[in-house]
A = this chain, B = another copy of it.
Amino acid sequence: MQFASDNTSGMAPEILAALAAANGGHAPSYGAEDGMLRTTALLREIFEAPEAAVCLVATGTAANALSLAVLCPPWSTVFCHEHAHVAEDECGAPEFYTHGARLVPVMGAHGKIAPADLAAAFATTGAGGVHGMQRGAVSLSNVTEAGTVYTPTEIAALTAVARSFELPVHLDGARFANAIAATGASAADMTWRAGVDVLSFGGTKNGCMGVEAVVIFDPAKAWEFELRRKRGGHLFSKHRFLSAQMAAYLEGGLWLRLAGVANAMAGRLAAGLTAVPGLTQKHPVQANMMFPEWPAGTAARAQAAGARFYGWGLPDGREGARLVTSWSTTAGDVDAFLSALAG
């Protein structure tokens, strides 16, 4: 009954098998292996973006921070949701990689930014001429930190605001597969057709060991990204083990199947939770993450039964929790958890 995070799960069998398969003999290092060609081709096909550049790194923080660094100069601002991963969970990696750009937190219900709020944030930034920081870039997350999902239309509405100030847009897709599985949107519609410039396409949380693909829709930015990746220490020598993961993750739609499982298990869980007396969901459940609020004592009861998740007290004496499902969550896990809650 593990619902603490999707990163407590392991590798999907296909990914482990791909590592084993890639292990034969010698291979060129630093991305010159055949597997990288295959990975790039698959991503270009999936994103209907035959010119896109692809770079692999091993962590989502690296993917995000390097992406922002190629999009905005040190004296500029990055507009993001106040609870975005780049703002709260990366120990200042965006500031480090951009050499000092400033995150401007934008508030918004359920982890999502409203176009009007983004426009308002723009209006109060960068108007000071040389005295103030300049507007730099927008960073969105899909799935959001609240477990909600933007539709392509919503993404496009936000990038339109960015475009009106000529700002580029980064999309943190650590759970991009879950967003696509949830909406049924095409990868292209969710990204470049909606105005996204650079995507962090996550693999790690969804069944890989540790690999993220940065998809750079304007390939002119790729060389700078590669230099920044190298000096950040993120260029793998035995790079074949990154591309092997990513290729296997993409082949035959594995990425969507795994995300589909995670989302389905979250749906099963959310449905079951509606029967728990006094339980409410803080945010709409749209992907593989939910934030129930329940009566005091509930968490302890579940944990005593073996459930693992993050929980906290609420000001009114009730409790909040974060429950995350993954590709490896089973119906049995969900049902056992529900039983434990039913106590």
Contact = CB atoms under 8 A, between A and B. Distances in A.
Contact of A20 (B16, B62, B75, B99): B16
A316 interface: no
A8 B23 contact: no
A233 B232 contact: yes
B232 A232 contact: yes
Interface in A77-130: 88-93, 95-97, 99-103, 128, 130
Interface in A217-240: 224, 226-228, 230-238, 240
A313 interface: no
Given A61-B230, A234-B59, A235-B59, A133 B7 contact: no
Contact of A209 (B97, B102, B230, B241): B241
Nearest to A5: B29
Total copies of this chain within the assembly:
4
Contacts of A19: 11, 16, 19, 209
A279 interface: no
A100 B96 contact: yes
Contacts of A227: 73, 75, 91, 130, 134
Nearest to A59: B233
Given A102-B102, A237-B60, A231 B96 contact: yes
Contact of A102 (B29, B30, B92, B128): B92
A284 interface: no
A82 B234 CA distance: 23
A210 interface: yes
Given A7-B237, A57-B233, A234-B62, A226 B130 contact: yes
B8 A26 contact: yes
A237 B204 contact: yes
A89 B132 contact: yes
Contact of A233 (B9, B11, B61, B236): B61
Contacts of A91: 75, 130-133, 227, 230-231
A27 B226 CA distance: 32
A220 to B, nearest CB: 15
B22 A231 contact: no
A204 B24 CA distance: 16
Interface in A168-193: none
Interface of A: 2, 4-5, 7-11, 16, 19-20, 22-30, 57-63, 65-66, 73-75, 88-93, 95-97, 99-103, 128, 130-134, 204-205, 209-210, 224, 226-228, 230-238, 240-241, 308, 328
Enumerate the 7 nearest inter-chain pairs by beta-carbon distance, A residue then B residue, closest first: A62-B233, A95-B100, A7-B237, A61-B233, A2-B26, A91-B230, A10-B23
Given A92-B102, A130-B230, 19 more contacts: A8-B27, A8-B28, A10-B23, A10-B238, A11-B238, A19-B209, A30-B131, A58-B210, A59-B234, A61-B235, A62-B232, A63-B233, A74-B95, A89-B132, A91-B227, A93-B230, A95-B231, A99-B100, A131-B230
16 contacts: A10-B22, A10-B25, A19-B19, A57-B233, A58-B236, A61-B233, A62-B232, A75-B227, A75-B228, A75-B230, A89-B128, A91-B227, A92-B231, A96-B100, A100-B231, A210-B237
